[in-house]
Amino acid sequence: MSFLTSIDEVLPDSRRSFLGKSGLLLSGAAVALLAGQDALAAKGGAASDEDVRILNTALGAELEAIAAYQLGAESGLLQKPALDLAVTFQGHHKEHADVLAKTIAKLGGKPVAAKDKYAFPTDKLKSQADVLRFAAMLEKGAVSAYLGAVPLFGNRDLAKAAAGILGDEAMHWAILRNALGEAPVPSAFVS
């Protein structure tokens, strides 16, 4: 039994809901935006609706990360230098979010907006270590999320640029683990 045969047995409407991968072909400049390299704009390349959806999901997660670091910074639980780390990493997430939003708009999509309110497990954040562990969990998840997104991009320049963000998230995760007294790089591979 093929995968598609088996999936159709339980997901009868899945194919009908297919939205297609055609349509958005304005990727050149947007890829350059995301990659931070204007020279790429001349190369062109095709991005799909799915690429835009992936970018928007990533943007949603980045906006939540910004809010999470804000919560941590304002919690009164973080002392220097951990507080400086949080503010620096929040700044990186702001840069990610900014370029993701611009790229989505350039591709003809509508960037998701930050939520008015995010749910965070504040009842479990009682110490600096709790906050750092929570941030590390988010960063580890972000590494996995980007790792799972990179192979899906139709536009390989977008994949490369997303991998660049992945690397940044991985460094955040390692530094936060180090700040917690844990092995900063626990294994040879991420998943």
Give the binding site for other proteins (CB under 8 A): 3-4, 6-7, 10-19, 49-50, 53-54, 56-58, 60-61, 64, 118-119, 121, 137-138, 140-145, 148-152, 191
Minimum gap (Å) between residue 18 Cβ and other proteins: 4
Find all residues with CB under 8 Å of 44, minimum gap 6, and list them: 27, 28
Q: How far is CA 111 from CA 56, 63, 107, 131, 182, in A?
A: 6, 11, 10, 29, 36
Minimum gap (Å) between residue 80 Cβ and other proteins: 27
d(CA 50, CA 35): 18
Q: Which is nearer to other proteins, 39 or 119 (CB)?
A: 119
CB 94 within 8 A of CB 168: no
Q: Which is nearer to other proteins, 121 or 181 (CB)?
A: 121
CB 138 within 8 A of CB 144: no
Minimum gap (Å) between residue 58 Cβ and other proteins: 8
Closest CA to 71 of 94, 90, 91: 90
Q: Which is nearer to other proteins, 41 or 105 (CB)?
A: 105
d(CA 189, CA 46): 30
d(CA 148, CA 159): 11
Minimum gap (Å) between residue 164 Cβ and other proteins: 16
Q: Which is nearer to other proteins, 10 or 42 (CB)?
A: 10
Minimum gap (Å) between residue 1 Cβ and other proteins: 11
Q: Which is nearer to other proteins, 119 or 188 (CB)?
A: 119
